[in-house]
């Protein structure tokens, strides 16, 4: 890991100690050492109590598929408790975990936090139960009796956030709490949710099968692995049409700067002999996720608003839309008279078609089990198409954590994509 050199202020009375800025311009994280202090934990918890309703009753919080997600003004106390939780979980499992501060596709007034397990996936049910328990513990004593402050510990918490105006301040609270609990914090700054999960996973190589590339638990490693794999894939195609650029609606969120950097890495790896990527809807050009982004395009069946318009916007031959934290994608083609959407159901079908073709080149002894997981909200035509390929289809409860679990447990190669573009392909140990 390449460590960004920083000047740390050792004055414990400085409330901004250690948090210089959440910038990661060179794609390497700020590494913040532990500052174990039960006194600091109590101060943080007392300074940022849980909010109350108009009747003076303390609000209750639940941890859903999206983690904790509420109006940003309600989250200061939650962020401290989640920072405590992350350090505690990392210590108990003797591996790195992750925190992502984001409200994904919601508007700017919201924020939230998701916890990533040491495998880069979502936190398990036991961790979720503890998260809810801590989130609703009212007093500092109630919080701290549920965890153990680590005096000598090598636990690591990876932390990233999106572009919302309140994300840096909320991130700061989570980081302070994690450090006071005894964790080292790797602060990645503005990153996408997939990047934060990647960095967490790659910092736990002992949990992964043998890798073709050395683990690089930073954004640079993420770009290099994507770019290298993409180059190899494109080189395997004899005929390809790259005459049209890929126009990407970034929902005025984190996807814009990340796509810019990915494009530069692709140029380093492939040169200019590739499709051009044009990120649009940058942070600050328009309201986050408002009339743009994957949620809007998929639900409204229309192209996004382009907040920095140009004369060619009426016709987009090859377009894509991300959401605010860039963990969803849908594709589209649009003109004044026509709109074609490639949503998550269609993306899953295309991926299954491609994987089935690739598996046909293996011998029958390979016997890898390919399947796709959908929910009751999936397009019925896509389910029919998948079964006719044929590919095994499982129906799971709505929510990414439910479809992810089924894809992981029942298939050697498990595919899932919600219609809104949130999905992935999981390759099991047999693969």
Q: Check if the beta carbon of residue 225 is closer than 8 Å to that of residue 72.
A: no
Instruction: Confirm if 132 and 61 have CB atoms less than 8 A apart.
Output: yes
Rounded distance between C-alpha atoms, residue 315 and residue 392, angstroms: 38
Helices (H) and strands (E) counted in the chain, each on its own, are: 12, 15
Helix 38-47 and helix 167-180: axis angle, to 10°?
150
- Cα separation, 113 vs 135, in Å, equals 12
Q: How far apart are CA 296 and CA 414, in angstroms?
A: 27
Residue bearing tokens 């609270």: 173
The count of C-alpha atoms lying within 13 angstroms of the C-alpha of 398, restricted to the half-sphere facing its C-beta, is 5
- What's the rounded Cα separation, in Å, for the pair 414 and 393? 10
d(CA 280, CA 278): 6
The token pair at 229 is: 């794999």
Could you confirm whether 33 is annotated as catalytic?
A: no
Q: Which two tokens stand for residue 270?
A: 């492939």
Its sign, for the CA torsion 363, 367, 368, 371, is: positive
* HEC letters along 294-339: HHHHHHHCCCCCCCCCCCCCCCEEEEEEECCCCCCEEEEEEECCEE
Task: Please return the burial class of 389, using the count of CB atoms within 10 Å of its CB with bins 0-12, 13-18 and 19+.
Answer: middle
Residue with tokens 């007093």: 139
**Separation CA 277–CA 279 (nearest Å):** 6
Among 95, 104, 155, 167, the active-site one is 104
Write out the catalytic residue numbers. 104
């Amino acid at each position: 890991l390449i460590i960004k050199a920083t000047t740390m202020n050792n004055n414990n009375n400085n409330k901004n100690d250690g948090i210089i800025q959440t910038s990661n311009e060179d794609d390497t994280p700020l590494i913040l050492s532990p500052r174990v202090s039960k006194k600091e934990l109590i101060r943080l918890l007392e300074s940022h109590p849980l909010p109350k309703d108009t009747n003076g009753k303390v609000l209750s919080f639940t941890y859903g598929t999206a983690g904790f997600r509420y109006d940003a003004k309600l989250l200061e106390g939650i962020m401290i408790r989640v920072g405590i939780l992350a350090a505690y979980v990392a210590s108990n499992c003797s591996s790195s975990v992750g925190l992502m501060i984001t409200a994904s596709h919601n508007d700017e007034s919201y924020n939230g936090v998701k916890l990533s397990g040491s495998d880069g996936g979502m936190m398990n049910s036991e961790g979720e139960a503890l998260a809810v328990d801590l989130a609703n513990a009212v007093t500092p004593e109630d919080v701290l009796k549920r965890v153990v402050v680590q005096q000598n510990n090598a636990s690591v918490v990876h932390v990233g956030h999106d572009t919302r105006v309140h994300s840096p301040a909320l991130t700061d609270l989570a980081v302070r709490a994690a450090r006071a609990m005894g964790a080292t914090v790797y602060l990645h700054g503005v990153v996408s949710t997939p990047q934060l999960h990647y960095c967490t996973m790659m910092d736990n190589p002992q949990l992964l099968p043998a890798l073709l590339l050395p683990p690089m638990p930073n954004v640079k490693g993420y770009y290099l692995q994507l770019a290298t794999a993409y180059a190899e894939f494109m080189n395997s195609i004899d005929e390809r049409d790259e005459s049209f650029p890929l126009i990407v609606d970034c929902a005025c969120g984190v996807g814009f700067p990340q796509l810019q950097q990915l494009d530069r890495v692709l140029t380093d790896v492939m040169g200019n002999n590739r499709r051009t990527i044009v990120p649009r809807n940058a942070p600050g050009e328009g309201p986050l996720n408002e009339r743009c982004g994957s949620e809007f395009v998929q639900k409204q069946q229309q192209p996004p608003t382009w907040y920095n318009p140009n004369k060619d916007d009426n016709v987009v031959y090859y377009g894509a839309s991300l959401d605010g934290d860039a963990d969803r994608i849908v594709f589209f083609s649009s003109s004044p008279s026509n709109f074609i959407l490639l949503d998550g159901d269609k993306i899953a079908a295309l991926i299954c078609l491609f994987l089935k073709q690739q598996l046909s080149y293996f011998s029958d002894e390979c016997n890898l089990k390919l399947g796709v997981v959908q929910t009751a909200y999936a397009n019925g035509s896509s389910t029919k198409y998948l079964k006719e390929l044929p590919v095994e289809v499982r129906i799971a409860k709505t929510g990414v954590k439910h479809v992810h679990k089924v894809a992981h447990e029942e298939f050697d190669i498990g595919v899932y994509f919600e219609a809104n573009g949130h999905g992935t392909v999981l390759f099991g140990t047999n693969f």
